[in-house]
Structures are given as structure tokens and as C-alpha cells.
Amino acid sequence: MKNIAVIGAGTMGNGIAHTFAQSGFKVSLVDIGEQALEKGMATIAKNLDRMIARETISEEDKTATLNRITLSTDMKEAVAGVSLVVEAATENTALKLDIFRKLEEYCHEDTVLATNTSSISVTRIASVTQRPDKVIGMHFMNPVPLMKLVEIIRGYDTSDETAKTVTALSGQLRKIPVEVNDYPGFVANRILMPMINESVETLYHGVAGVAEIDTVMKLGMAHPMGPLQLADFIGLDVCLSILNVMYDGFKNPKYAPCPLLVNMVTAGKLGVKSGEGFYDYSESKKAEKISPMFS
């Protein structure tokens, strides 16, 4: 399994492509537009430069990694002949189902189809294909090149062979695979998102400000980043989407998103990606320490 395709050149997609290419795989990175692909490649190059600065890779390693990545806006052409496809599109059920219907049509019958979904049922995604035994979840963590965990999620019909193949593959990427069952949010987000949501509720009810909430969690619980800042880095729209998936899946009010989170997403305050979330990431603040938007 040396030729793979990654669908989606956003934060997770370019990170996954980077990781596979750096590990010696030939990668077809696919997105609907040239601009998204160029932005994804620029991010990969920038992250490789950071590794060079830390002396963890050489210039030659960077060149070899970039040379293993091919860009494409033609999914049908890009996935022809690959052994594995990793879908890393937006966390939207309808979009993912549409992609997997196309992959079923375009890919060889032996191709393993993986999804990087962080909360959507792998069984549901697999149901639109004729190969549910070869569909599996590979939930990478952000930033993908640095984070060691890969949640391996078996759908209802995922075969032992597929699970073993993907688990072994994760090891080739120098990741640590952990197999979990197919329920909304899996393990990582079933625990993380309620914590983030409760942090937003704490802010919403005026118990403390952004900096105070994050400081308590960093100093008191030894978290490297506070939950509100982490939410900004994940993307508040992504957090809201995951909470909605869990709320719909479990029908449990503890997963209902905080009204403040809903309003911020509606207003386009999505965190780092939009320049403003719980903190200010605007150009005027880049040379300074990021400042909280709420106190």
C-alpha cells in the first residue's frame, strides 16, 4: 500500500497528505478548486520548514516529501489505482455520503475507503457503498504531523482484515492507533466536546472570563492549552457540528450546544480560521500575545 489519495486539502487533509508523503507514500491530494490545493501545499511546505528549523528533518527530506504529492481536482482520475483513500472533507454528513458514493464508483473493488470523520457514524457512511467491509474510520488529531493518536473506528461491517491493515498502516506513519466503537463522537470528541461546551457555558453564565477559564484548566489540570483556545484552533463551526451530531445521535440534553457557541458561529466568529473567536487573531494582534474577546 504505497499509493493513496486524500480527499480535501483543508487543515486535516493537508496534514494527512503531509504525514503520508513524509513516510514515503505517494499521495494524490484532491480538492474541488486549484486555490484550495495551492493553499494546502503552501501549508505543507510551511510546516516542513518549521521541522527544518527544529532540525528534525533536512532540506532534502522536505523536497522528497513535496515531490511525493500530486495535486488534482479530478477525483475520478486521482483515485484510480490507489490502495487507500482517506476522506478528509468538511464534517457534513450529506457531503461525506456523496463522496463515498463516488468513491464506490471510481475505486477498484479492493481499495480501502477511510474517513477522517470526527463524529459521524462510519456505519452510516459505509452504507452508501457496496463494500462496507472495506470502510473504516481513521480519525487523525490536529496538527496531524505532530499528534501521535489515530482513532481507528470500525463500522458495523468493517472486516478484521481491513482493521488490521489500517492499524498496521498507522504504525508505518509512526502513529499510535487506538480502536474504538462506532458511536457518535467516538472517544476523543465524546469526552472533549462536552468539556469545551461546558467551558462556553461557564463563560456564557458569567462565572469567569476567557483567560481565567483557560488558565484554570492549564494550571489546575495540566492541559497544554485551555479549552476555549483549543476550540478556536479546532474551529467553532466544527465544534458546533460535532455537538449537533452527538445531540442528534444520543438525544441527550448534555450534548446540546451552548447558545453562545451557536451565536458565534452564526456571526462568523469561527476562531483562528476567521481571525476571531474567543480570542483575537487579527493581523493587528499577530505581533502581540493573543487577547481574549470576552472578559
Residues labelled catalytic: 118, 139, 151, 189
> How many helical (H) and strand (E) elements, i.e. helices and strands, does the chain have?
12, 10
**Which residue is listed with cell 473506528?**
153
Please name the helix (run of DSSP H) or strand (run of DSSP E) that holds residue 87, with its range, or none.
strand 84-87
Record the cell numbers describing residue 147, joined without a space. 499528534
% helix, strand, coil for the chain, step of 5:
50, 15, 35
Q: What is the dihedral of CA 232, 236, 237, 243, to 10 degrees?
A: 130
Of 243, 255, 258, 270, which is closest to residue 201 (Cα–Cα)? Answer: 258
For residues 213 and 202, is the Cβ–Cβ distance under 8 A? yes
Of 170, 173, 165, 179, which is closest to residue 133 (Cα–Cα)? Answer: 165
For residues 111 and 134, is the Cβ–Cβ distance under 8 A? yes
**Phi, psi values for residue 79, rounded to 5°:** -95, -5
CA distance 58 to 230: 30
CA distance 10 to 157: 29
Q: What is the dihedral of CA 89, 249, 234, 134, to 10 degrees?
A: -40
- Within 10 A of 4 (CB to CB), how many other CB atoms are there? 24
CA distance 33 to 37: 7
